[in-house]
Chains A and B, each alone.
Chain A
Amino acid sequence: DSGVTQTPKHLITATGQRVTLRCSPRSGDLSVYWYQQSLDQGLQFLIQYYNGEERAKGNILERFSAQQFPDLHSELNLSSLELGDSALYFCASGSGNTEAFFGQGTRLTVV
Protein backbone atom coordinates (compact mmCIF):
# COMPACT_ATOMS: atom_id res chain seq x y z
CA ASP A 1 0.00 0.00 0.00
CA SER A 2 1.56 3.30 -1.13
CA GLY A 3 -0.64 5.46 1.09
CA VAL A 4 -2.13 7.19 -1.96
CA THR A 5 -5.84 6.55 -2.39
CA GLN A 6 -7.68 6.92 -5.67
CA THR A 7 -11.41 6.60 -6.16
CA PRO A 8 -13.20 5.15 -7.91
CA LYS A 9 -11.14 2.13 -9.05
CA HIS A 10 -13.28 1.64 -12.14
CA LEU A 11 -15.58 3.97 -14.04
CA ILE A 12 -17.67 3.29 -17.11
CA THR A 13 -19.42 6.19 -18.74
CA ALA A 14 -20.82 7.31 -22.06
CA THR A 15 -19.33 9.68 -24.59
CA GLY A 16 -20.10 13.31 -23.91
CA GLN A 17 -20.34 12.80 -20.16
CA ARG A 18 -18.28 14.33 -17.37
CA VAL A 19 -16.51 12.47 -14.57
CA THR A 20 -14.47 13.37 -11.52
CA LEU A 21 -11.53 11.30 -10.31
CA ARG A 22 -10.36 11.75 -6.76
CA CYS A 23 -6.95 11.39 -5.16
CA SER A 24 -5.91 11.53 -1.53
CA PRO A 25 -2.13 11.91 -1.17
CA ARG A 26 0.08 10.33 1.45
CA SER A 27 0.05 12.07 4.76
CA GLY A 28 2.54 14.94 4.66
CA ASP A 29 2.96 15.04 0.87
CA LEU A 30 2.26 18.44 -0.63
CA SER A 31 2.65 17.53 -4.32
CA VAL A 32 0.09 15.69 -6.38
CA TYR A 33 0.78 14.57 -9.95
CA TRP A 34 -1.75 13.24 -12.44
CA TYR A 35 -0.86 10.86 -15.27
CA GLN A 36 -2.74 9.18 -18.09
CA GLN A 37 -1.73 5.68 -19.17
CA SER A 38 -3.36 4.39 -22.34
CA LEU A 39 -2.95 0.89 -23.74
CA ASP A 40 0.67 0.33 -24.76
CA GLN A 41 1.49 3.89 -23.80
CA GLY A 42 3.71 5.26 -21.13
CA LEU A 43 2.86 7.59 -18.30
CA GLN A 44 1.71 10.83 -19.87
CA PHE A 45 2.14 13.71 -17.44
CA LEU A 46 -1.01 15.79 -17.17
CA ILE A 47 -0.62 18.27 -14.34
CA GLN A 48 1.01 18.84 -10.96
CA TYR A 49 -0.21 20.68 -7.88
CA TYR A 50 1.82 21.76 -4.89
CA ASN A 51 0.13 22.82 -1.67
CA GLY A 52 -3.02 23.87 -3.46
CA GLU A 53 -1.44 25.65 -6.41
CA GLU A 54 -0.91 24.48 -9.96
CA ARG A 55 2.81 24.08 -10.50
CA ALA A 56 3.28 22.42 -13.88
CA LYS A 57 1.17 21.47 -16.83
CA GLY A 58 1.82 18.73 -19.35
CA ASN A 59 -0.23 17.38 -22.20
CA ILE A 60 -3.57 18.06 -20.59
CA LEU A 61 -6.53 18.66 -22.87
CA GLU A 62 -8.68 21.74 -22.43
CA ARG A 63 -11.61 19.41 -21.65
CA PHE A 64 -9.70 18.27 -18.57
CA SER A 65 -9.16 20.29 -15.43
CA ALA A 66 -7.90 19.65 -11.94
CA GLN A 67 -7.60 21.24 -8.57
CA GLN A 68 -6.06 20.60 -5.19
CA PHE A 69 -8.08 21.47 -2.12
CA PRO A 70 -6.93 22.89 1.24
CA ASP A 71 -6.89 19.39 2.74
CA LEU A 72 -4.49 18.49 -0.15
CA HIS A 73 -6.74 15.98 -1.86
CA SER A 74 -7.02 16.51 -5.59
CA GLU A 75 -9.66 15.99 -8.22
CA LEU A 76 -9.27 15.52 -11.95
CA ASN A 77 -12.33 16.52 -13.96
CA LEU A 78 -12.79 15.08 -17.44
CA SER A 79 -15.60 16.50 -19.56
CA SER A 80 -17.10 15.94 -23.00
CA LEU A 81 -15.61 12.49 -22.85
CA GLU A 82 -14.51 10.75 -26.04
CA LEU A 83 -13.73 7.10 -26.69
CA GLY A 84 -10.04 7.97 -26.82
CA ASP A 85 -10.12 9.18 -23.23
CA SER A 86 -10.43 5.58 -22.08
CA ALA A 87 -7.29 4.94 -20.04
CA LEU A 88 -5.84 4.28 -16.63
CA TYR A 89 -5.46 7.52 -14.70
CA PHE A 90 -2.86 7.57 -11.96
CA CYS A 91 -2.23 10.09 -9.31
CA ALA A 92 1.01 10.20 -7.39
CA SER A 93 2.10 12.21 -4.41
CA GLY A 94 5.47 13.32 -3.18
CA SER A 95 7.52 16.19 -1.92
CA GLY A 96 9.20 17.49 -5.04
CA ASN A 97 12.45 15.93 -6.16
CA THR A 98 11.95 12.79 -4.15
CA GLU A 99 10.10 9.53 -4.65
CA ALA A 100 6.60 9.91 -6.00
CA PHE A 101 4.17 7.31 -4.65
CA PHE A 102 1.50 6.13 -7.04
CA GLY A 103 -2.07 5.25 -6.26
CA GLN A 104 -3.72 2.15 -7.68
CA GLY A 105 -5.23 4.15 -10.52
CA THR A 106 -8.73 4.71 -11.85
CA ARG A 107 -9.60 2.76 -14.97
CA LEU A 108 -11.91 4.86 -17.10
CA THR A 109 -13.86 3.24 -19.90
CA VAL A 110 -15.82 5.50 -22.24
CA VAL A 111 -18.46 3.69 -24.29
Chain B
Amino acid sequence: GENVEQHPSTLSVQEGDSAVIKCTYSDSASNYFPWYKQELGKRPQLIIDIRSNVGEKKDQRIAVTLNKTAKHFSLHITETQPEDSAVYFCGDYSGGSNYKLTFGKGTLLTVNP
Protein backbone atom coordinates (compact mmCIF):
# COMPACT_ATOMS: atom_id res chain seq x y z
CA GLY B 1 0.00 0.00 0.00
CA GLU B 2 1.11 3.54 -0.60
CA ASN B 3 1.16 4.34 3.08
CA VAL B 4 2.19 1.01 4.56
CA GLU B 5 5.41 -0.94 4.19
CA GLN B 6 5.21 -4.64 5.08
CA HIS B 7 8.04 -7.13 5.66
CA PRO B 8 8.91 -9.83 4.93
CA SER B 9 7.18 -10.61 1.64
CA THR B 10 7.55 -14.35 2.27
CA LEU B 11 8.05 -16.27 5.49
CA SER B 12 8.52 -19.99 5.95
CA VAL B 13 8.43 -21.56 9.41
CA GLN B 14 8.20 -25.02 10.92
CA GLU B 15 4.97 -26.05 12.58
CA GLY B 16 5.02 -24.97 16.20
CA ASP B 17 7.40 -22.07 15.64
CA SER B 18 6.45 -18.41 15.91
CA ALA B 19 5.98 -16.02 12.99
CA VAL B 20 6.35 -12.25 13.07
CA ILE B 21 5.30 -9.83 10.34
CA LYS B 22 6.14 -6.15 10.60
CA CYS B 23 4.58 -3.02 9.09
CA THR B 24 5.45 0.65 9.15
CA TYR B 25 3.18 3.55 8.35
CA SER B 26 3.81 7.20 7.61
CA ASP B 27 0.64 9.13 8.44
CA SER B 28 0.60 10.33 12.03
CA ALA B 29 -3.20 10.64 11.73
CA SER B 30 -3.56 6.87 11.28
CA ASN B 31 -5.66 5.48 14.10
CA TYR B 32 -6.74 1.98 13.17
CA PHE B 33 -4.57 -0.96 12.13
CA PRO B 34 -6.24 -4.20 11.00
CA TRP B 35 -4.63 -7.46 9.97
CA TYR B 36 -6.27 -9.61 7.32
CA LYS B 37 -5.67 -13.21 6.32
CA GLN B 38 -6.33 -14.27 2.75
CA GLU B 39 -6.35 -17.96 1.93
CA LEU B 40 -5.85 -19.04 -1.65
CA GLY B 41 -8.83 -18.14 -3.80
CA LYS B 42 -10.73 -16.53 -0.96
CA ARG B 43 -11.54 -13.06 0.25
CA PRO B 44 -9.45 -11.30 2.91
CA GLN B 45 -10.82 -11.74 6.41
CA LEU B 46 -9.99 -9.80 9.55
CA ILE B 47 -8.04 -11.74 12.15
CA ILE B 48 -7.14 -9.00 14.62
CA ASP B 49 -7.01 -5.22 14.80
CA ILE B 50 -5.65 -2.53 17.07
CA ARG B 51 -6.40 1.13 17.63
CA SER B 52 -3.88 3.87 18.17
CA ASN B 53 -4.68 4.24 21.88
CA VAL B 54 -3.65 0.65 22.62
CA GLY B 55 -0.13 -0.80 22.62
CA GLU B 56 -0.90 -4.50 22.42
CA LYS B 57 -3.81 -6.82 21.79
CA LYS B 58 -3.95 -10.59 21.98
CA ASP B 59 -6.41 -13.20 20.78
CA GLN B 60 -5.35 -16.78 21.54
CA ARG B 61 -2.30 -17.51 19.37
CA ILE B 62 -2.38 -14.15 17.63
CA ALA B 63 -1.14 -10.83 18.98
CA VAL B 64 -0.53 -7.38 17.54
CA THR B 65 1.77 -4.73 18.97
CA LEU B 66 1.82 -1.05 18.08
CA ASN B 67 4.60 1.47 18.57
CA LYS B 68 3.12 4.87 17.75
CA THR B 69 6.37 6.74 18.26
CA ALA B 70 8.19 4.62 15.72
CA LYS B 71 5.06 4.26 13.55
CA HIS B 72 5.26 0.51 13.29
CA PHE B 73 3.09 -2.44 14.25
CA SER B 74 3.62 -6.16 14.17
CA LEU B 75 1.64 -9.38 13.96
CA HIS B 76 2.81 -12.28 16.10
CA ILE B 77 1.55 -15.82 15.58
CA THR B 78 2.67 -18.40 18.11
CA GLU B 79 2.54 -22.20 17.85
CA THR B 80 1.96 -21.99 14.11
CA GLN B 81 -0.13 -24.65 12.41
CA PRO B 82 -0.33 -25.64 8.72
CA GLU B 83 -3.75 -23.96 8.50
CA ASP B 84 -2.06 -20.63 9.30
CA SER B 85 -0.51 -20.79 5.82
CA ALA B 86 -1.95 -17.86 3.87
CA VAL B 87 -1.18 -14.31 2.77
CA TYR B 88 -1.39 -11.76 5.56
CA PHE B 89 -2.03 -8.06 4.95
CA CYS B 90 -1.54 -5.24 7.39
CA GLY B 91 -3.83 -2.26 7.03
CA ASP B 92 -3.69 1.40 7.91
CA TYR B 93 -6.74 3.59 8.27
CA SER B 94 -5.92 7.25 8.01
CA GLY B 95 -8.39 9.54 9.68
CA GLY B 96 -8.39 13.29 9.54
CA SER B 97 -9.15 14.45 6.02
CA ASN B 98 -7.76 11.32 4.41
CA TYR B 99 -10.07 8.37 4.92
CA LYS B 100 -8.11 5.73 3.07
CA LEU B 101 -7.91 2.14 4.26
CA THR B 102 -4.70 1.00 2.60
CA PHE B 103 -2.79 -2.24 2.88
CA GLY B 104 0.75 -3.47 2.75
CA LYS B 105 1.84 -5.70 -0.14
CA GLY B 106 1.25 -8.83 1.88
CA THR B 107 3.31 -11.62 3.45
CA LEU B 108 3.01 -15.19 2.19
CA LEU B 109 3.33 -17.36 5.28
CA THR B 110 4.07 -21.03 4.79
CA VAL B 111 3.93 -23.33 7.80
CA ASN B 112 5.72 -26.59 7.08
CA PRO B 113 4.45 -29.70 8.89
Mark A residues whose CB is within 8 Å of B.
2, 31, 33, 35, 41-45, 48, 50, 55-56, 58-59, 90, 92, 94, 96-105
Contacts and interface: CB of A to CB of B under 8 A. Distances in A.
Q: How would you classify the secondary structure of chain B's contact residues: helix, strand, loop or mixed? A: strand
B45 interface: yes
Contacts of A56: 98-100
Given A48-B100, A97-B32, A97-B93, A58 B2 contact: yes
Contacts of B51: 97
Contacts, number: 64
Interface of B: 1-2, 6, 31-32, 34, 36, 43-46, 49, 51, 89, 91, 93, 95, 98-106
Contacts of B98: 56
Given A42-B89, A42-B106, A90-B44, A100 B101 contact: yes
A99 B43 contact: no
Contact of A42 (B100, B101, B104): B104
B104 A102 contact: no
Contact of A48 (B44, B45, B101): B101
Contact of A45 (B34, B45, B103): B103
A74 to B, nearest CB: 15
Nearest to B44: A102
A99 B105 contact: no
B57 to A, nearest CB: 13
Contact of B105 (A41, A50, A100, A102): A41
A104 B43 contact: yes
B99 A50 contact: yes
B44 A58 contact: no
